[in-house]
Amino acid sequence: MRLLFMSLLLFASAGCIEAQQLPASPSLSTPAANKEDLHEKAVELVKLMGIRQRLVDTLESNIQKGKEAMLKNNTKYDPAFYEEWAKRMQARTNIDDYVNVWVGVYEKHLNGVELSEMIQAQTEYNKTKQFSLPTPLKDKLTSSAIAMQSEVMGGCSQVGAKLGGEIGQEIEKEHPDWVKQTKPIDKTAPTR
């Protein structure tokens, strides 16, 4: 099962990496009254960035990559296990779970003014393919890009690993014949 989770991390992080367009940065603290406004702005930014569509576009290939990695690295399961796992992952993946990771990261790390500047810049980019940010925001984004990317990748990995693990456990229960039994190592046997 450990390999299954590792492969799911690969699947989830690959989808998030392919969807990433702009990094984000730490923000100033935000009063509770502005949390709803921040959330709405973060939702708008992620929508303008096309994150949802990018995740949808890469879902099938990322599931395939996860299945292939598991097939290559683990002989514990019958190939039918991996086929069924991929089929269920495709059917049950909720793209909104991944989109919400992105929204949460931007909402956490950008304040209202910064989100507005990002929305304006992304709107302009979508029209002209030219991107321009105020220097202070650009500097802030540059300094925190790695941390933000890590949070997106980590959050998306958790989403994928949770679903993939649940599906793997279901399949093991439903099809125990697909799980190849390995013999325990005899520690009393002589070694060479």
Asked whether residue 184 is domain-assigned, the answer is no
Domain that holds residue 151: 2-178
- What pTM was computed for the model? 0.78
Asked whether residue 162 is domain-assigned, the answer is yes
Higher-confidence residue of 73 and 48: namely 48
- The pLDDT tens digits of the residues spanning 78-105 come to 999 999 999 999 999 999 999 999 999 9
Q: How far is Cα 166 from Cα 160, in angstroms, rounded to an integer?
A: 10
pLDDT of residue 138: 92
Q: How far is Cα 103 from Cα 44, in angstroms, rounded to an integer?
A: 9
Asked whether residue 191 is domain-assigned, the answer is no
pLDDT at 168 over 50: yes
How many residues are given for the chain?
Answer: 192
- The pLDDT tens digits of the residues spanning 113-123 come to 999 999 999 99
Q: How confident is the model at residue 169 (pLDDT cuts 50, 70, 90)?
A: very high
Asked whether residue 190 is domain-assigned, the answer is no
Mean pLDDT of the chain: 83
Asked whether residue 186 is domain-assigned, the answer is no
What is the DSSP secondary-structure string of 47-109? HHHTHHHHHHHHHHHHHHHHHHHHHHH--SB-HHHHHHHHHHHHHH--HHHHHHHHHHHHHHH
Q: Count how many domains the chain has.
A: 1
Asked whether residue 90 is domain-assigned, the answer is yes
pLDDT at 188 over 70: no
Asked whether residue 93 is domain-assigned, the answer is yes
Asked whether residue 183 is domain-assigned, the answer is no
